[in-house]
Structure 1
Amino acid sequence: MFLPHTLSIFVFAALAFRPAEAAALPNNTASQVISIRSPDHFYDQIGANNFTFVKFFHPKCPHCQKLQKPFEQLSHPIRKYNHNKSIEADARISLAQVDASNRITEPLLRKHSPTGFPTLKLYRNSLLVAEYNGVRTTSHMFDFLLKSISLQDTPLFSHIHSESVLRQFLHAMSERPVILSVYPPPSSFVETASDMHTSTAPTVAFATVDNPALLIPNRTNNHVKRLLRRHGRLPLLAAASSASSFTVDAQYWFPDIRDGESLASFMHTVIRPEHEPIQLSHLTAPYVLHAERPMLLAFGQGDAPTWDVIYFLAHADAEPPKMLPVYMPVAKFREFAHYVGLNVSQLEDHDAFVEDWETQYVVYRAGNMEPIVSRYDPSMNVSGATWLYQQRQRVNRTFVDTYAGELMRFTHQQLKAMLSFDGRGVLLLTYTRHCRLCTKYESLMTKVAKVLKSHAGFVVVARVHVDKGFPFIAEVKDLEKIKNAPSIVWLSAGERVVVYDGAMSVQAVARFGREMAAVPAEFHRGIEWMNVTAAYGLVIGLGLIVTAQLLLRGKRRRFAKRQHVT
């Protein structure tokens, strides 16, 4: 009786031990879903040399509940993938999840999942590789992981030589931000792309194109004409926050449109996902804050925005004029906070100031003289929505739309806004109504505007009526020089008025405008469009005359030969 009893105890112990062993087995595999316990645990996990696919979720979220089973089933194909001997150790995949109901991990959610739940992101070596926004099934997520891992071994720049290759490239990039440049790319594009790939935005896909027309996905005649009318030339860069929306939401960079909108600033701001704020760092701040765009800045106490701040900033680009939402920790950017008028004098004295700090919002736009600055904090009597609506109207009033190659007709208010916020100089014609000489000057300036079409980023050709006197503009000095009408003057913010007193010819006035705008030498090529057109017309005309003479001479010879035969 002792042996069977002992045997039964042994069998029972073996059966009891076996499930525990099976449960412990996944701990040794990369396919187990790791529950993140703290921020340190999270950064240790994503800092590994292999890939980590992270799910940010909330247990009460219905979409998260629906995603739970497909995400857990993802461990089966990942286990087979990781056990493949041909897969290198640094190419294996781990699964992790961050619970939003855990207060300890709340800072991670604010920083890595600002738009809501669920959020799926792939990390490697503490860097974000890609974010998944596709169909939430096991097969689609696994295909996304394989594609993202394979793209890590591709070169930094892809080269596109046809429209079919462009479509393949956009399809392969899926939801990744893309930036395309003409070939050969500008040196600053290569430097900025390399910097973004290694430090600030490793998820961006860069490429170069043979033909600049490939940068314009909707290449209808009206679309191209609209771009040429506004900018005077085709773009050098095109970008979108995701490859799937490139054909619809592509944004363009032109080399000479705004002094403040540098190529690096454009590249750092255009890749931001829609309705998501930019969380500034000391690396990206110089590029973002010098972009020539209206921004809604939020100065908060923490390193990452709270949900209320994210919700408020989400309204910045909800409707035109779309502002760039930016979050700035006030402790890290106190000098800039002081620059825009916030009281941060007590910030250096004690840390309690930061704890008591309430988030304040500032509308800001980098300009030639003073930026548009308006501050809002929750203690104001007006609501945040009303304040934001008022600032949209204010930005609209200060934005002046200009077209390359056209003589703009400015009101006094538009001229003030142009010199205060645009940054370009104005080659201005002052005129009065019922003036015959003014009509001749206007015809001259219309031709000058066409000659300076390729310089739309440096100089604006315009006219303004001065029947009731010239408007007072605080940014311009020596306005008393403008005494007569019509007259041609150069106006630029922060500079003195320069009155043109040269020959009244198109070439002479255009040369004056280029000199005052300090147009770089590389933009001088092909500037005298009217002269070039006249030269081509002369050559074609002479060719037609010579051809006609030769045909006539041959006809006379044939006629004389017939007469001789007769």
Structure 2
Amino acid sequence: MQFSIKAIAAIMAVISNITSINAEEAIAPEDSAVVKLTEATFNDFINNNPYVLAEFFAPWCGHCKRLGPEFASAADTLNESDPNIKLAQIDCTEERDLCSSFEIRGYPTMKVFKGDASAISDYPGQRDSNAIINYMRKLTLPAVQVFETAKELDEKLEKLAESFILQILPEGTESQASNETFYQIANKYSEAFTFASTSDKKFVDQYAKSSKTPAYVIFRKGEELSDASVYKGKSIDSDFELLVDFIDVESKPLFGEINGQTYQAYTSSNLPLAYYFYSTEEERSDVEPIIKKLAKKYRGEVNFVGLDAVQFGMHAQNLNMEEKFPLFVIHDLESNKKYGIDQSNDLDNNDITQFVQKFKAGKLEPIVKSEPVPESQDSSVFHLVGTEHDAIVKSGKDVFVKYYAPWCGHCKKLAPIFEELSELYTGKDVIVAEIDHTLNDVEGVTIEGYPTLVLFPADGSEPIYYDDARSLEAMADFIKEKGSLKIDAFADEEDAVVESETAVESSTVEKVEQTEEAEAHDEL
């Protein structure tokens, strides 16, 4: 995926530096249900409890302080409702050896144990009380929950904590291969979703009355039951992925919320991501009917999300928009292009529908972030900017580009060597260029770290990424070997040496000849 790491890094930085949080204690209160474990008590406790969520933490850790109250609240709730589920803390500043044995490299680290210190897995959920409670409760349930009556199923659907995938079995379908496939999928993805099955007549009549095969329905948290998605594809008997793909698309809310916990799920889908930045819940509520209507129409083609501008407003800059809210912008993750509604006037929600239609029809121009084109080039290293990036790298010369960030230490270290490299190609058909990737958008280049060095051959063939030593000689050899023009940066120096050696040799021969002639003449 071509999604830019600067966008990911930036939003995650914003998320981790949200408005100041009161310094809550990372250590759970003494009267909470959280159990404090040490190296001496750890193994016995784990082996004697079937479900334990252990938090490895440090008291000074800011993230641990934010988690602390949520962790304690979850422990207290579970202690009342599910006493076989325990939450425990290990202070890594005191239990260094214990934490080291589990290779704890950051705080907080949360791990799940199932009655055995060797039966361990990472906790993948969000760090709030409700998410912790829901995740740990699910561990005690079968992968597929079977509901015998409509009443108990209705009660479950009224208070969903996450997407709920329901298999509906008409009479006589219980033993079909598709039922076995459904259980395989549930076993694999039960940590992410809730899976259930029913043969109740009410649900059969509503979703599978005329069918002789199972029906599959996805209900989503916070949405009307009438908004549920019904699978209408081919039989899943022989193709496991048919239902998996359906779940991947349809399990996301019509108008979801994007934050630190959901960001990866949305970006990994690689579908265009349509953001609505809002400053108040009222703004979000006002636009919701418009967004949901669009989300239904473009299901599986565009994901629509809300983003709290109070907490994450700085992310607008990564999408080439101003921090003026509310705003609407679409990020095409595959091409890394951004399309936003003009911010010269206040956003009119009624413009969103036509804007999305134009985006789908390919009638919008992307917003390209770029520095101004320099009036002059004051360095031997060509200062490249976003608006002329493609023209320069396709100029018919071998072009070697450094993509950098101003704060990058490795980039600063490379700078003098890169300048020396550029000077070697003065008057030659090689351009040595650099571009500040934090200020300029580029296409067709995958940036996974800074600096990223890429050679664009003069013949227009695919760019070649450089990953060898960052020395003058190594980079020059790379340009000579991989560039289509095969230009040798040191050719002039070698010619100069050869000319010098030849001149010395000629002078020596001439002197010898003159000496020999003189000696011969003397003899005469």
TM-score norm. by structure 1 comes to 0.33
**Greater helix share, 1 or 2?**
1
TM-score normalised by L of structure 2:
0.35
